[in-house]
Structure 1
Amino acid sequence: MPALPTDTPTLTGDLVELRPVTAPDVVRLHALMRDPEVGRLTGSVHDDAEPTGDPWTVEQLQEVYARWADDTDRVVWAVVDLGTGQVAGEAVLLDHDPDNASIGFRIWLGGARDRGLGTEATRLAVGHAFDVLGLHRVELEVYAFNPRARRVYEKVGFVLEGTKREALRYADGWVDCHVMGMLAQDWRRRRDRGSPAPGTTPPPPAR
């Protein structure tokens, strides 16, 4: 299987749009990264008192996103809340393994929770991985202290495959990391049962 194309597509659903990250988007993403909950749930910090978003400056982060845009092992999107027109976070397919037709997934949102945005953004990204890129497997990791995200992933179709025990040190304790995965056949079964990807029109019933 060849490397991933570098032209990131725009995917539009009912609640969110996934589109390539622009330099102005990074200003917004940098601000959202400073949300303490984003830092904790993504494992970017290891204590409630640890500064979130440091040591990156906006300019350094813009360089990172510009470099990612040219990478052939990932697809990086800004998640846009269509209700407000604001960037709400990022969604990424990463660590493409062409020999095994697999890829990883991560997503984070700041200040836009409990509205179904993460569920739809995850479905859009996973649908792109399977239906457009033709991959066989998508996997992700979620920390045990983030059950809300795990419920989102299960709703989309990911299943628990294992647990990395005490993988993250946080404050004075340790946190397990759950490994979840979905296969192309899992996605097709859910899609064919009548749950089309957001932003698409279901096929007409057979006559």
Structure 2
Amino acid sequence: MFDHKPTLTGERVTLLPVGPEHVEGLFELVSDREVQRLTGSHGELDPDVCRAWYATRGEHADRLDLAIIADDEYVGEIVINELDAHNLACNLRIALIGARAFGKGYGTEAITLVLDHVFAATPLHRVSLEVYAFNERARHVYKKVGFVEEGVHRDALLWDGEWHDAVTMAVLRTDWQSRSESLA
């Protein structure tokens, strides 16, 4: 479904297929303690693991991994994965590199660009995600672009001795089309 890895361009960000040239940014992203907390990522990654990961993403037709570039700098990644071709569904995940990328509209624009692409270039009907309940900034962005909260996974993350819920959200093709028509 994602044989072609597009470059998507907005006003603030450009989304490029990830590659070895983005490894330094990826390593900074996954090493940031606040990003780890917001994504529930336990453990450390090795730079060589990051390099191997980004070097092979283009080979996978069941996913779309894009680097988020702003002002010629890597500021994060956005990924469509967990493709369920039978049910025309997938997962979306996004991570920004930390405080220097937060609050600038990069995430909102990246998500909008990806959803525009997914619903225009594929037959996918449903894009879902999970976000931790404490991540109000992300939940606000997801709602703003059209995701609907569908449920809660109670005590899904144990972080620093505390349990946190995960909120499931999704946007359907019909939601996106209605949103697009109302913005036109």
TM-score bracket, shorter-length normalisation? over 0.9
Q: How does 1:1-207 map to 2 (within 5 A)?
A: 4-45=1-42, 54=44, 56-81=45-70, 84-110=71-97, 111-194=100-183
Inter-partner Cα distance in structure 1 for 2:120 and 2:131: 24
Task: Say whether the 8 Å CA contact 2:131–2:138 is kept in structure 1.
Answer: yes
Percent identity over the alignment is 41
Which AA in structure 2 matches 1:33?
A: V
RMSD: 1.2
Q: Aligned equivalents of 2:51 and 2:3: distance in 1?
A: 17
Query: How far has the Cα of 1:134 moved from its partner?
Result: 2.2
Give the length in aligned residue pairs.
182
Q: From the CA coordinates, give the structure whose radius of gyration is larger.
A: 1
Greater helix proportion: 2
Matched letter for residue 167 of structure 2: H
Task: Give the drift of 1:12.
Answer: 0.3
Quote how far apart the aligned CAs of 1:68 are.
Answer: 2.3
Q: Which residue of 2 aligns with 1:49?
A: none
Matches of 1:32 and 1:187 in 2, distance apart? 29
Give the gaps of 5 or more residues in structure 2.
Answer: none
**Structure 1 letter corresponding to 2:168:** V
Question: Relative to 1, partners in 2 of residues 1:191 and 1:94: Cα closer, same or farther, differing over 3 Å?
Answer: same
Secondary structure at the counterpart of residue 179 of structure 2: helix
- In structure 2, relative to structure 1, the CA distance for the partners of 1:32 and 1:5 (3 Å cut) is closer
Is the deviation greater in 147-156 or in 56-65? Answer: 56-65
State the Cα deviation string for residues 147-185 of structure 1 (Å, max 9, x = none): 100000000000000000001111121000000001101
Structure 2 distance, partners of 1:5, 1:105, is 14
Name the TM-score, length of structure 2 as normaliser. Answer: 0.95
CA contact (8 A) 2:26 2:50 kept: no
Q: SS at 1:191's partner residue? A: helix
Q: Can you list the C-alpha shifts for 1:67-112, whole angstroms capped at 9, x where unaligned?
A: 222112110000001xx21010100000111100011000000130
